[in-house]
Amino acid sequence: MKIGITCYPVPGGSGVLATELGGQLAKRGHEVHFISHALPYRLDGFAPNVFYHEVEVSTYPLFEYPPYTLSLASRMSSVARQVKLDVLHVHYAIPFAIAGHLAQEMLGEAAPKLVTTLHGTDITLVGMDKSFFEITKHSIAVSDRVTAVSKYLAAKTRAEFGVQRDIDVVYNFVDTTRFRPQGRHVCKSRYAPNGEKVVMHLSNFRPVKNVTGVVHMFHQLTQKQPAVLLLVGDGPDSGAVLELAGRLGVADRVHFLGNQQRVENIFACADAFLLPSYYESFGLAALEAMACGVPVVASDVGGVSEVIADGVTGFLIDPDDYDGGAEKLHQLLSDRELSSSLINAALSTVQNNFTAEIIIPQYEQIYQA
């Protein structure tokens, strides 16, 4: 089957999932064509059956804002016609589902089917904006199939938009050949030379990720035991986070690593993973940590409870409870037996529910249907 995939090419759950999905589909013999204005994040190096088509956006002086949606729709149409795509799979409702629908309109009977995967903020933030509500609702209605990455997100979409149509829940997955427990990485001794515990956070550093909360909880943790914090990612809150670390007196124990491709090597340094977001439709970064054998403390929000069972496979907290978050970190970092129990249960959950071998066939069935 020939599948076109469009996603945001920047770090973030939707782009990561889309790129990993394309790679797994290619390994299973499908022909995958990424259509985007930049090479998707984590799409690095040559891979058989994987192709990239760049979307060029016009800078004609008449346009105050470049018409990316129109350029994308045109590129989708030309790629679909050229290689005879069977399916266009877009990750994020706006603007990708609308661009896909426009491409279908241009192609007529020869158009590929349109699958739209909802990832969370396309519904809860962008879609709920008054200026985007109707077009988001329409993009869901005109897609041939719609999927959501959690039961929570599917239910919220139906409730907020009054959608009556079926929404397939297909969870995010992790490549367990890449994200797996491994020996302590060299960065462990580099960042924690005196045996300090290593706490890790990975996100796109937007307000919804509550990275300032990460620093507050880490600061509270350091009052109880020696520790260092690895911050992986980048985004608009980076400056505020670094300023806060200095103000709290922990700047020398906070290491800002920026965006990284091989994050599994950093997970190998970590003793705990902290994700106190204000909203997560699923929590892909938490799943990757679990697969790497790193115990997780995450917010009890959105679809996170569909991934983490509180006290069994990790800890769930209130994102604004800094004392509570620090205490949960302290518990698992100071109690080896507890940490091992959480890790073993989390690894079992990953293997039984969230591997590529389990999830990819679900997407294939949707494509075939």
Share of the chain above pLDDT 90, in %: 78
At 311-322, the pLDDT tens digits run 999 999 999 999
Contacts of 54 (CB under 8 A, 6+ apart): 36, 37, 38, 75
* Dist. CA 129–CA 136, nearest whole Å: 10
The CA R_g of the chain, rounded to the nearest whole Å, is 21
Residue 128 is predicted with a pLDDT of 57
Average pLDDT, the chain: 92
Q: Which residue has the tokens 């943790």?
A: 221
Q: Would you state the torsion angle of the CA atoms of residues 305, 21, 154, 316, taken in this order, to the nearest 10 degrees?
A: 10
At 230-245, the pLDDT tens digits run 999 999 999 999 999 9
Cβ neighbours of 325 (radius 10 Å): 26
Region 18-38: what's the mean pLDDT?
A: 94
- CATH code of 186-353, in short, is 3.40.50.2000
Region 332-360: what's the mean pLDDT?
A: 97
Region 180-195: what's the mean pLDDT?
A: 81
Q: Is cis: bond before 361, omega within 30 of 0?
A: no
2-173+355-368 and 186-353 share one fold: yes
Region 21-30: what's the mean pLDDT?
A: 95
Region 250-275: what's the mean pLDDT?
A: 94
* Dist. CA 7–CA 28, nearest whole Å: 21
Residues 187, 250, 224, 276, CA torsion sign: negative
Report the SS3 class of residue 141: helix
Nearest residue to 93 via CA among 64, 129, 63, 59: 129
Residue 273 is predicted with a pLDDT of 98
Angle at 32 between CA 353 and CA 112, to 5 degrees: 100
Report the SS3 class of residue 114: strand
At 113-136, the pLDDT tens digits run 999 999 987 676 654 567 788 888
Residue 120 is predicted with a pLDDT of 81
Report the SS3 class of residue 196: coil
Contacts of 66 (CB under 8 A, 6+ apart): 57, 58, 59
Looking at per-residue pLDDT, the higher value among 162 and 332 belongs to 332
Contacts of 246 (CB under 8 A, 6+ apart): none
The residues spanned by each domain of the chain are 2-173+355-368, 186-353
Looking at per-residue pLDDT, the higher value among 112 and 126 belongs to 112
Q: Confidence band (pLDDT; 50, 70, 90) for 89? A: very high
Instruction: Decide: 307 and 251 in contact? Cβ < 8 Å.
Output: no
Looking at per-residue pLDDT, the higher value among 245 and 59 belongs to 245
Cβ neighbours of 212 (radius 10 Å): 18
Region 293-311: what's the mean pLDDT?
A: 97
Q: Which residue has the tokens 């003793």?
A: 271
Q: Is 310 left (phi over 0), alpha (psi -120 to 50) or beta?
A: beta
Residue 127 is predicted with a pLDDT of 46
Share of the chain above pLDDT 70, in %: 96
- Architecture, CATH, for domain 2-173+355-368: 3-Layer(aba) Sandwich (3.40)
Residue 188 is predicted with a pLDDT of 80
Cβ neighbours of 55 (radius 10 Å): 18
Looking at per-residue pLDDT, the higher value among 192 and 316 belongs to 316
